[in-house]
Amino acid sequence: MSPTETAESTKREIEVQVPAEEVTRETDALIQKYQKLARIPGFRAGHVPASIIRQRFKQDIQNDVVDALVPKYFRKETERLGLVPVSQPRVTDLHVHEGEGLHFKASFEVMPEVKVEGYKELRAEHPAVNVTEPEVEDQLKALQESKATYSPVEGRGLQDGDFAQVSLDGTPKEEDANTKPVHMDDVLVEIGGKNTMPEFTENLSGANPGDERTFDVHYPDDFSDERLRGKTFAYKVKVNAIKQKSLPELNDDFAKEVGDFKTLDEVKQRIREGMEHDRKHEAEREAKDKLLAELIRRNEFEVPEALVEHQVDIRLERGLRALAAQGMSQEHMKKMDFGRLRAGQREQAVQEVKASLLLEKIADTENIQVGDEEINQEVEALAKQTNQAADDIRARLTKDGALDRIRNRIRNEKALDFLYRQSA
């Protein structure tokens, strides 16, 4: 029977009729199976009459018939019609009677027909990347700061420019279940430093090792740490030591210390190249994002809900992993409003699914392929990252179907690279 096409181009409904003889054949096979396994008082194992089995396990057998035949004949009918489902079917109007066959309807989603047009006319900015000498010097100073040493100071109290080596406990003054106390055993506080809260400088100036200070600190609404932003904490701080910072001289000896360099100019050149690479990468990423947005705008089409929901799952999983890496507890995650979170991810998920389908179509049109060597590089990188054997990684990825997903991802990336290169 031909599929019914609803108003939405990705939704289909088909009616399936399973022949009566097939239902009978499956029923008889199940009865034989039940005869071998059934334990009924008054009958020896394996010798229960079929009539008793049919009567005693009628509903169970019917359920098993449905479980066996519905997926099988749904698959056969979609293959006959040339349809490729991308969602699990929703089965309705199910009727099954021995001797009369099995009938059901199935609603499901299929891939839309994607026609990509105008992609060769897309244009994107390819701005020149420029790194100034002062920017290189700032990065060099940051590298110098990372190599600083701290020596103890004795015989006087803390003053501007010193570093207080302290242990501290901070308690939020407002009642807020999401705001946790702060505890640090060994932290350096720069007295008078530009990034030091003024209250720490005011209350620790003049203190000696062994002294304790208690004071409140109010963090501004735009404070860099979101956990402290806009909050007031009561601190108890103990000064353990006074340190002075010493910076290494910026010369060729410094260059040899920080890496495989002979001169300071080589360090500067490496810094410049790194900054140019990062800026070029960022500019390219922004340009590609704009290209994809314009590509989607020019080629509107409906996407299957199943693909959107899957992409929402991926985005949520990625976000939760990031929150866990930042220290959020499982208990706190469980309290999150996942309905609201899913709704918030939906619009971006739709755009990502559309972009993926359009890039796949461009890759088909432009005959963009992914070689085995490219897959091998991905597998080797993953093996190195996880400290596992490449063959083990490959076997697992193949079994899970992830190898094909990696191939598709690389292919889409190559299609996007093609778009970017021809957009100049």
Helix, strand, or coil (residue 174): coil
- In tens, the pLDDT along 23-40 reads 989 888 988 887 777 777
Count of alpha carbons within 13 Å of 187, Cβ hemisphere only?
Answer: 14
pLDDT category, 7, cuts 50, 70, 90? very low
Tokens matching residue 303: 């996407």
State pTM to two decimals.
0.73
Q: Is residue 134 scored above 50 in pLDDT?
A: yes
Q: Is residue 61 scored above 90 in pLDDT?
A: no
Residues 13-32, mean pLDDT to the nearest whole number? 91
pLDDT category, 6, cuts 50, 70, 90? very low
Tell me how far apart the terminal alpha carbons of the chain are, to the nearest angstrom. 51
- Cβ–Cβ < 8 Å for 109, 86: yes
Shared-domain flag, residues 184 and 262: no
Closest CA to 397 of 412, 384, 407, 387: 407
Beta bridge partners of 92: 105
Shared-domain flag, residues 143 and 175: no
Q: Report the amino acid identity of residue 226.
A: E
- Cβ–Cβ < 8 Å for 162, 207: no
Q: Percent of the chain having pLDDT more than 90?
A: 64
Shared-domain flag, residues 100 and 180: no
Residue 62 CA from chain centroid, whole number: 43
Shared-domain flag, residues 135 and 240: no
pLDDT score at 35: 77
Question: Residue 345, Cβ neighbours under 10 Å: how many?
Answer: 20
- In tens, the pLDDT along 337-359 reads 888 889 999 999 999 999 999 99
Q: How far apart are CA 323 and CA 314, in angstroms?
A: 14
Shared-domain flag, residues 73 and 92: yes
pLDDT category, 2, cuts 50, 70, 90? very low
- In tens, the pLDDT along 204-217 reads 999 999 999 999 99
Tokens matching residue 171: 């308690």
Residues 6 or more apart whose Cβ sits within 8 Å of residue 108: 11, 12, 13, 78, 85, 86, 87, 88, 89, 90
pLDDT score at 392: 87
pLDDT category, 125, cuts 50, 70, 90? confident
- Cβ–Cβ < 8 Å for 363, 415: yes
Tokens matching residue 368: 């963009």
Element (H, E) at 376: helix 372-386
Q: How far apart are CA 137 and CA 404, in angstroms?
A: 46
pLDDT score at 421: 93
pLDDT score at 40: 73
Q: How far apart are CA 144 and CA 254, in angstroms?
A: 9
Which strand ranges, in their side-by-side order, compose the sheet holding 90-97?
A: 4-5, 11-18, 101-109, 90-97
pLDDT category, 398, cuts 50, 70, 90? confident
Shared-domain flag, residues 327 and 371: yes
Q: How far apart are CA 154 and CA 241, in angstroms?
A: 9
Shared-domain flag, residues 255 and 312: no
Shared-domain flag, residues 199 and 331: no
Residues 45-65, mean pLDDT to the nearest whole number? 79
Residue predicted with more confidence, 299 or 399: 299
pLDDT score at 179: 77
Residues 69-96, mean pLDDT to the nearest whole number? 93
Domain that holds residue 161: 150-246
- Cβ–Cβ < 8 Å for 260, 389: no
pLDDT score at 353: 95
Residues 56-63, mean pLDDT to the nearest whole number? 85
Residues 135-162, mean pLDDT to the nearest whole number? 95
Q: How far apart are CA 101 and CA 22, in angstroms?
A: 7
Shared-domain flag, residues 264 and 220: no
**Which whole-number Å values give the CA distances from 172 to 23, 197, 225, 332, in the listed order?**
70, 16, 14, 19
pLDDT category, 275, cuts 50, 70, 90? very high
Residue predicted with more confidence, 393 or 204: 204
Residues 6 or more apart whose Cβ sits within 8 Å of residue 215: 199, 202, 203, 234, 235, 237
Mean pLDDT of the chain: 90
Beta bridge partners of 423: none
Residue predicted with more confidence, 226 or 262: 262
pLDDT score at 8: 56
- Cβ–Cβ < 8 Å for 116, 356: no
Shared-domain flag, residues 313 and 414: yes
Q: How far apart are CA 390 and CA 378, in angstroms?
A: 10
Of 246, 269, 291, the position where a domain reaches its end is 246
CATH number of 186's domain: 3.10.50.40
Shared-domain flag, residues 26 and 162: no
pLDDT score at 325: 83
Among 173-177, 236-240, 294-298, 362-366, the minimum mean pLDDT is found in 173-177
Q: How far apart are CA 148 and CA 166, in angstroms?
A: 18
Q: Is residue 1 scored above 50 in pLDDT?
A: no
Give the chain's domain count.
4
Residues 258-267, mean pLDDT to the nearest whole number? 94
For the ranges 207-211, 228-232, 326-330, 392-396, the one whose mean pLDDT is highest: 207-211
Residues 95-106, mean pLDDT to the nearest whole number? 86
Of 109, 131, 161, the position where a domain reaches its end is 109
Q: Percent of the chain having pLDDT more than 70?
A: 96
